[in-house]
Structure 1
Amino acid sequence: MNDNCINHEYYMRVSDRILALIRRIFHNNPEFRHDSMKHVARFAPIIPLMGGRPDLSKTLNRVVTFADGSNPLHFGAPIVLAAGANKTAKRICDYANMGFGGISVGTATRHVREGNTHRPRIGFIENDRAIHNSMGLNNDGVEAVTRRTDAQIAAAHRAGMCVGISVAETPGLTDENEKVKDIIESFSIAYRVADYIEINVSCPNTGENRLDLDMSFIDKIFSEIKNYRDAQSYRKAVYAKLSPDMEEAHTATIMDALVKAGVNGVVIGNTYPTKKIENLPVRVKYNELTPLRADGDCGGMSGRPLYENMVKNVKFIREHYPQMSVMACGGIDHGYKIYDLIKLGVDAVQCYSVVAFRWMAAHAMRKELQEALSKDGFKTLADYDSKNPKG
């Protein structure tokens, strides 16, 4: 197993400095900056010098297959826009303009949610190239998200994008049976349409306990998901999105349960609870962060500081659970990082925060990934996969 996962640095181009200027101009409007990505994605092809168009070359195509016969996943590039960027599933194909080869829409809950009513509920940490948020799973509900995805998924495939739907339990439920029913209903609705379904059991931003800390509940959820999948005439891939802050023993306990339930893979991981950021290589202190909820909590952190911790978790999963597909998420902001993770056995990466700090980040990372492959003598990612089969 490759142990050389460097936290590669990228060169600040003029466009990146323009992006930094935009962040400074709108520093008092963090949610506007967060939400403006959809407009950038839409108009990227016509904005001068942006270079925002779908990359339909086959150089970075990747097909992920599963031993249990689940439908394979076809990525135009193994760079997936993480859940939280497009919560509504509107205008999915626009994100191909930004260079993404896949997208997880949502996270969606069974019913419409306003989310956290406190403002601000998102903050940018400039010196650490990080973001912290406590959006509170605001979304239009899984039925609307799935209906919109259904109407667009064929066009998304033509644009080189694999489309997953992220679902989570609706916060506020107290009865355990109602909680299980809620998340299984969301899962079954998304299952009809999505290429893959991502179960978010680790959101730290709702003011309630994370599901991945309750093993009894985890067993019930994924047992019911297994029963549902086994009763279907077709089989789609299921991923569990886990928190990045768990001890190895607890990670192993969850992984054992996921393997038993036939889950195909994991997303490693979610945002990092800011209460624990002293464990990350950051300059900012917890008491310097802007409170994002009425109770003073500062939500979860994403961005560059999560990379080394994410790599540690990926190595643990790949070593002890090699049968599990892995999507790596956390601090991925360079194409050489993607290549290092691919050499660890990762199938795809997810990212989002990087788009706030790198101009057309996915396109930039595509070029860097192609360069890394070329240095090792591979013309395409398919060439690498044919010479380095998994399993």
Structure 2
Amino acid sequence: MAVECINHEYYLRFSDRILALIRKVFHNYPEFRHDSFKHVARLAPFIPFMGGRPDLRKPLKRVITFSDHSNSLYFGCPIILAAGANKTAERICDYANVGFGGITVGTATRNFREGNTHKPRIGFLEKERAIHNSMGLNNEGVEVIARRVDKQLVKAHKAGLCVGISVAETPGLTDPEEKLKDIIESFSIAYKAADYIEINVSCPNTGESRVDLDMSFSERIFTEIMRFRNTLGLRKAVYAKLSPDLSERHLIAIMEMLVRTGVNGVVVGNTYPTAKISELPVSTKYDELRPLRDDGDCGGMSGRPLYENMVWNVQYIHEHYPQMSIIACGGIDHGYKVYDLIKMGVDAVQCYSVVAFRWMAAHAMRNELMDAMLNDGYKSLGEYDDRNPKK
């Protein structure tokens, strides 16, 4: 189905202007502002004007199935909170209050990481509605994160959340065998707890060479991961998180490798490398990204400017690799975009930057998604899938 790519606009409400005021007040403390979303999620049900409650309405429920009979994934709605929002896996169920139907926690590494030490590690581009960051994979380690997910998983399912864990190799390792052992261990620990696993091979903000740029090593990683998974009695879905800056030739090479190794799907994509900001439709200049550029240009950008690039990648992958499950991520800030992407063949979407710019963003996007479906004559996503089966 040919779908027009429209970067749907949303109009600022009074509550959105309050958010803008909060960003202005905490301009000199961007990491605090970034981290405060967890408090919003927790307090949403108790503050009348926020209207925060888990939305368990059936019309927006989404089920992802896999041809290799991996466990199906059940989302309260196809809007997932992307990795980076909840790095600790604490109070997972709170994020159902603010409208999400799934959450990917992490990204987790084998052991505790402080992340990059320069401050600030995050900044907001108000005009572009974008965020640039170089957090450096700060996290408490995969064992701590997996243990917390395991304790909360049943409760999360009751709240309508499907829970994934994002894992990555530990930056700083130089020996290939040590790197491989490290990520396999992280994968095996996360696998025991989560509904699905997301392998982050494309993080641009650690100062290390990205794994997805080394095709031979990437193939070793995914071959070993899928081999290990296939020895287990329970088959959970494995997704590869790709970078949005890949050339067509490199994208083809990665997708061919993922198909060969049996990976279930892709998350398209990660933050866009800050050093390539000129490739995006933004007015901000590369030299203006201070002090984040002082980290050696290893940061990444997320938000509205990534949308057109992400759509091109999604359309290409779906056309040439229809067997792959696709989760779209990049500039998704409107429910009509979610619907357009579903019509393009996407199973679900991830977002995070939008919560800094839209009040109760996921709830607003759910309402817009429902409106878009009704305009096309569908009362639910299930009805849409029944009338438009995937090939």
Percentage identity across aligned positions? Answer: 74
The residue aligned with 1:343 is: 343
Question: 1:294, 1:319 → 2: CA distance?
Answer: 40
The answer for unaligned runs of 5 or more in structure 1 is none
Asked if 1:376 is matched to 2:376, the reply is yes
Aligned residue identity for 1:191: Y
Cα distance, 1:371–1:226 mapped onto 2, change above 3 Å: same
**Residues matched between the structures, number:** 391
Deviations 1:327-378 (A, max 9, x none): 0000000000000000000000000000000000000000000000000011
1:105 matched residue in structure 2: 105
Query: Which portions of structure 1, spanning 4 or more consecutive aligned residues, are displaced by more than 3 angstroms?
Result: 293-296
Deviation at 1:261, TM superposition (A): 0.7
Structure 2 unmatched runs, 5+: none
Q: How does 1:1-16 map to 2 (within 5 A)?
A: 1-16=1-16
Partner amino acid, structure 1, of 2:142: V
Equivalence for 1:286: 286
Instruction: State the shift of 1:292 in Å.
Output: 2.0
1:178 is paired with a residue whose SS is helix
Q: What SS does structure 2 have at the residue aligned with 1:238?
A: strand
Let me know the Cα RMSD of the aligned residues: 0.8
Partner of 2:276: 276
Contact 1:128 1:305 survives alignment (8 Å): yes
What residue number does 2:114 align with?
114
Q: Indicate if the aligned counterparts of 1:291 and 1:298 stay in contact, CA closer than 8 A.
A: no
Cα distance 1:296–1:176, how it changes in 2: closer, same or farther (>3 A)? closer
- Superposition deviation, residue 290 in structure 1: 1.6
Q: Does 1:27 align with 2:31?
A: no
Give me the whole-angstrom Cα distance separating, in 2, the residues matched to 1:164 and 1:389: 26
Query: Secondary structure of 1:114's partner?
Result: coil
Residues 63 and 73, structure 2, Cα contact 8 Å, conserved in 1: yes
1:58 corresponds to: 58
Identify which range, 141-150 or 222-231, moves more after superposition: 222-231
1:307, distance to aligned residue in structure 2 (A)? 0.2
TM-score with structure 2 length normalisation? 0.99
One-letter amino acid of the structure 1 residue matched with residue 86 of structure 2:
N
* Aligned residues of 1:201 and 1:212 also touching (Cα < 8 A): yes
TM-score by length of 1: 0.99
**CA positional deviation for 1:298:** 5.9
Partner of 1:360: 360
Q: How far apart, in 1, do the equivalents of 2:298 and 2:31 lie? A: 15
Mapped partners of 1:328, 1:178: distance in 2: 31
The 5 A counterparts of 1:84-99 are 84-99=84-99
Distance 1:17 1:105 in 2: 29
Where do residues 67-78 of structure 1 align in structure 2 (5 Å cutoff)? 67-78=67-78
- In structure 2, the partner of 1:191 is 191
Give the letter aligned to residue 356 of structure 1: A
* Distance apart, 1:48 and its partner CA: 2.6
Contact kept in structure 1, 2:207 and 2:296, CA below 8 Å: no
Q: How does 1:240-259 map onto structure 2 within 5 Å?
A: 240-259=240-259
The Cα offsets for residues 294-342 of structure 1, whole Å up to 9 and x where unpaired, read as 4442610000000000000001100110000000000000000000000
2:154, 2:130 → 1: CA distance? 34
In structure 2, what is the Cα distance between the partners aligned to 1:234 and 1:32?
39
The residue identity in structure 2 corresponding to 1:21 is L
Which residue of 1 is the match for residue 207 of structure 2?
207
